[in-house]
Amino acid sequence: MTRLIFLGAPGAGKGTQAETLAHHRNIPHISTGDILRQAMQKQTPLGVKAQDYVSRGELVPDQLVNDLVKERLDEPDTEQGWILDGFPRKVSQASFLDKLLQEKHNHQVVRVVNLEVPDDILMARLLARGRADDNEEVIRRRLEVYREQTAPLIDFYRDRQQLISVNGDQSLDEVTAELLDVIDS
């Protein structure tokens, strides 16, 4: 059973690697960023509420993402496993997820992959990507928010011995190979 959380700064390659691995394992790749962007595009109630935060590089309020993750993990396609990408992004979300998974899976441990990439490389990758929320000022804010709110999750999960670190500063294929290697060991 593959149940993984992907951590890593914006630009670390979480989305790409999570998608590849999910495909490989035939399990859903659940990206809160993708779900929010789709909702914004369709202007659903969730999208309308999230819009302002996302375009400024801020985190959307916990309740919005917590609800969406809870609902998504209740879909039948998650029974064979899943990969969460972009959630949790702060300690309060990690606590919420913990409780949710305890109820669902009765204490089975979920593993957490941290993709490590040096700061200067992150900025270069994000500027090259050119998504709507990828202008320099917003990127800077997203990196700041990451350092303040998300990076503490690395220690949080390391202390609980759930953390697996992977060098994200390699070619896409090399990262995938390292990932496959560590999650099966």
Measured from the CB atom, the residue of 3 and 89 that comes closer to ligand ADP is 89
How many residues bind ligand ADP, per CB under 6 A? 16
DSSP assignment letter at 61: P
- What strands, in cross-sheet order, belong to the sheet with 81-85? 29-31, 81-85, 2-7, 111-116, 163-167
Query: Least distance (Å) from ligand ADP to the CB of residue 184?
Result: 25
Binding string, 140-159, against ligand ADP, x = CB under 6 A?
--x-----------------
Q: Indicate whether 93 belongs to the interface with ligand ADP (CB under 6 A).
A: yes
Q: Indicate whether 13 belongs to the interface with ligand ADP (CB under 6 A).
A: no
Say how far apart CA 77 and CA 84 lie, in whole Å.
13
Asked if the peptide bond before residue 88 counts as cis, ω within 30 degrees of 0, the response is yes
Verify whether residue 111 is a known catalytic residue.
no
Q: Residue 29 in 3-state DSSP?
A: strand
Q: Which residues bind ligand ADP (CB under 6 A)?
A: 10, 32-33, 36, 53-54, 57-60, 65, 86-87, 89, 93, 142
